[in-house]
Structure 1
Amino acid sequence: MSLENNKAFASVLTAGIILLASGFAATMLYHPQDLEENAFKIEVADSGAEVDAAAPAGPVIEPISALLASADIAAGEKGFKKCSACHSIESGGANKIGPALWGVVDRTRASVDGFSYSDVLNGMNSETWDYEALNEFLAKPKAYAPGTKMGFAGLKKVDQRADLIAYLRQQSDSPAALPE
């Protein structure tokens, strides 16, 4: 064996020893502790296998019909900036990751041409996006339409949803009438 081969073998052996020693030293210095419960709880959708009839249906979404008359459209426009990453709002706007939202209030669900909706929303294509349906969807999209492609977590505050829906209402050729 030549001296060059010995040097290569020695360097590989030395690197391995250093790697093992550093792993051993890290274990000695760092003592991880397991948490008693998860710091961040991940909600898992029910598989739908068996539903207990006595179990509550989930949190009740507050209606927004009464709030729409006094909703802040400017705040809704500001809130829409989060939505604009995935949706266009202009008349004749193109679909992005999500469908174009021009005229969405009182529009038939899953009806934008050229957009591929999830199966659950395609199944709702006989219904319209009225104020309360938009309210429930925007509160928690994945709970309202399990399996939806929309990755948005939702808006918890009812006044924020009312502002956003009032803004969406204005983005139409003929805005839908406000509920009485």
Structure 2
Amino acid sequence: MKDDRNTAFGWILFSGIIALGAMSVSSHFFHADDNELSEGAKPGYFIEAAEEEGGADSGPPLANLLAAGSASAGEGIFAKCTSCHSIAQGGPNGIGPNLYGVMGKPIGKHVAGFAYSSALSGHGGEWTFENMDAWLKSPRAFANGTKMSFAGLSKAEDRANVILYMLENGGGPPLPAPVAEDAGDEEGAAAEGEDVDGAGEGPGAVEGADAGEAESAGAMGADQPVASANAAGEN
């Protein structure tokens, strides 16, 4: 029995030596311990992450969303808030304060005696349209440490409609004027068009031909803008 055990242990030891030797040879052959790639070798793949755009805002400006929005649509969205807030004049406070007339009021202070979180009461500023939009988008991002657990409204149109509904209940500052989004592009295109059309440049002289009456008349008006229009008509 002892001979059988010794034989078995011997084979196990021998197998371990063979395996260790094979690993050493393969490691040397395939450069497993070499962290540098051999000359001309290429890595299997790279994972390329898309570059984030530097904080560019997408979508229409808030002023335009407010101009095109609807307080009645905001009322339907505000139904998500009624478990914590009332908005009727003189309505009770719930988990959150009554929101009647909140627009334009100091942040975290518009209802006297309500226990606002220090994150909100110490925020500073007023409930402007921009501040309310940021708050509705992400309360925690706007006032880190707020007691409000609502995740926020991701759609800018929904936030604008809720703001209009709040404005309808208690008033607030006047709506901002809509922004002409493409005004700058149109002006740039107009300026570029003037350069391309060559406005203000007179007709050039024609070599090898005497100027006729029509050409002379055109040349006399070379400094006037109308000359380029006449030239375009003749072409």
Task: Name the TM-score, length of structure 2 as normaliser.
Answer: 0.49
For residue 112 of structure 2, what is the aligned residue in structure 1? 113
Paired residues for 1:29-48 under 5 Å: none
For residue 177 of structure 1, what is the aligned residue in structure 2? 174
Structure 1 outlier segments of 4+, above 2 Å: 55-63
Paired residues for 1:120-131 under 5 Å: 120-124=119-123, 126-131=124-129
Matched, 1:81 2:79: yes
Q: Alpha carbon RMSD of aligned pairs, Å? A: 2.2
Task: Give SS of 1:169's match.
Answer: helix
Query: C-alpha offsets along residues 1-45 of structure 1, whole Å, 9 cap, x if unaligned?
Result: xxxxxxxxxxxxxxxxxxxxxxxxxxxxxxxxxxxxxxxxxxxxx
For residue 161 of structure 1, what is the aligned residue in structure 2? 159
Task: Give SS of 1:153's match.
Answer: coil
* Aligned sequence identity (%): 42
1:178 partner letter: L
Q: Once the 2 structures are TM-superposed, how far is the Cα of residue 66 of structure 1 from its aligned partner?
A: 1.7
For residue 3 of structure 1, what is the aligned residue in structure 2? none
Task: Name the TM-score, length of structure 1 as normaliser.
Answer: 0.63
Q: Is the 8 A contact 1:61 1:136 kept in 2?
A: no
C-alpha separation in 2, matches of 1:168 and 1:74: 11
Higher-Rg member (1/2):
2
When residues 61 and 97 of structure 1 are mapped into structure 2, their CA distance, relative to the original with a 3 A threshold, is farther
When residues 59 and 147 of structure 1 are mapped into structure 2, their CA distance, relative to the original with a 3 A threshold, is farther
Matched, 1:94 2:99: no
Q: Is the 8 A contact 2:101 2:172 kept in 1?
A: yes
C-alpha separation in 2, matches of 1:59 and 1:142: 21
Q: Is the 8 A contact 2:74 2:158 kept in 1?
A: yes
Higher relative contact order (CA 8 A, sep 6+): 1
Unaligned runs of 5+ in 2: 1-51, 178-235
Q: Once the 2 structures are TM-superposed, how far is the Cα of residue 175 of structure 1 from its aligned partner?
A: 3.9
Unaligned runs of 5+ in 1: 1-54
C-alpha separation in 2, matches of 1:139 and 1:69: 19
Task: Give SS of 2:68's match.
Answer: coil
